[in-house]
Structure 1
Amino acid sequence: MGWTSADEGGRLRHVAGAVRLEPVDERNLEPLLSVAAAEAEPGEVMPPVEAPAGWSLARREAFREFHRASFAGLDGPTGSQMYAILVGGEVLGMIRMTRCDEPGTVETGMWLGLSARGQGVGAAALRELLNLAARAGMRVVVAETTVDNVGAVAVLEKCGAKLHEDGGKVHAEICLDSTPPAL
């Protein structure tokens, strides 16, 4: 069963079934940057950099270079594979997996543009990433967030993560060998 949301005309549209992950590359990097600049703060979508505040030219170039560094995927120098999150062919955000020191374990992180939040896109994207991680031979996916990131915590719970809270931080672990939760 897919997640649904209302579009501008009040019609319901299926979201989860339409969510697709596409490796970030030169073809979708500029649409990804456009969504980030229009619908997110730099600190939500990339590591901090020395640059003027907001989406300055220097920060936009740093965004591009941050993503280009992972073009080689899990076996590349960063050990990360980044995916553009698409719904109906439109880029709405990014989800990634990064190898951890423990074999068979990857860490994930995600961001969505403001207009895509709260529509089931995050949970659908995470489920797709879990499938990709399993196909890549991973056994565990972990994530870190904060207790005040209610949206991220809800997505992790929907996808069957075991959550551990410690001092305002939330550590999530999803075992890919277990049965996924029913929708």
Structure 2
Amino acid sequence: MTREVRLTPVDEQNLEPLLSVAVAETEPDEVMPPVEAPAGWSQARRDAFREFHRANFGGLDGPTGNLMYAIVQDGDVVGMARLGRHAEPGTLETGMWLGKSTRGQGIGLIALRLLLAEAVDAGARRVVAETRADNLPALNLLSRCGAVLGGDGTAIRAEIRLGVNEDVAGAW
């Protein structure tokens, strides 16, 4: 079965479907920064999720320096991937999550490859990510995309070098 997976910038049209999959298939701490709110997907956390994503509507050149994408599989929002400005010149940071029902199906690999192409288009020379050492699916995914992994046994930093010309890439 062939799956169509694409990335679409998060906007008002796909924000509610993104929130719906987050509520149905994730825990808040997996998909958004911590907030002072009752546990679980309380109304306060749902509102904070919306505001967090709206704050990033400006993209890489906006005030937060983040570009959030809805991961869309066969027309349905199934997760989120982001690119963000990083202090290191020519470097973008990434992060990603998928709803539980779509994990382990290869969607993350396709989404990461699409995200890396977006990073190249933005002029990045490398993409970095951080995860936990026990997050084996993420480590496998990053490795399959050519990441060099390093860390202290608890936290892992991944670096993926991209095939862009150093003289042409932006120097942010």
TM bucket by the smaller chain? Answer: over 0.9
Aligned to 2:50: 64
- In structure 2, the gaps of 5 or more residues are 165-172
- In structure 1, the gaps of 5 or more residues are 1-12, 179-183
TM-score, structure 1 length as denominator?
0.88
Report whether the alignment pairs 1:173 with 2:159.
Answer: yes
Matches within 5 A, 1:138-177: 138-177=124-163
Q: Which amino acid aligns with 2:96?
A: M
Aligned to 1:7: none
Q: Which amino acid aligns with 1:170?
A: I
Report Cα offsets for 1:122-180 as digits up to 9, x if no partner: 111000000000001111000000111011011101111111131311110000028xx
Q: Which amino acid aligns with 2:16?
A: E
Q: Secondary structure at the match of 2:60?
A: helix
Number of residue pairs aligned between Structure 1 and Structure 2? 164
Aligned to 2:40: 54
Aligned to 2:64: 78
Question: Percent identity over the alignment?
Answer: 65
Aligned to 2:11: 25
Measure how far apart 1:14 and its partner are. Answer: 2.3
TM-score, structure 2 length as denominator?
0.93
Q: Secondary structure at the match of 1:101?
A: coil
Q: How much is the aligned-residue C-alpha RMSD, in angstroms? A: 0.9
Q: Secondary structure at the match of 1:73?
A: coil
Q: Which amino acid aligns with 2:7?
A: L
Q: Secondary structure at the match of 1:48?
A: coil
Report whether the alignment pairs 1:130 with 2:119.
Answer: no
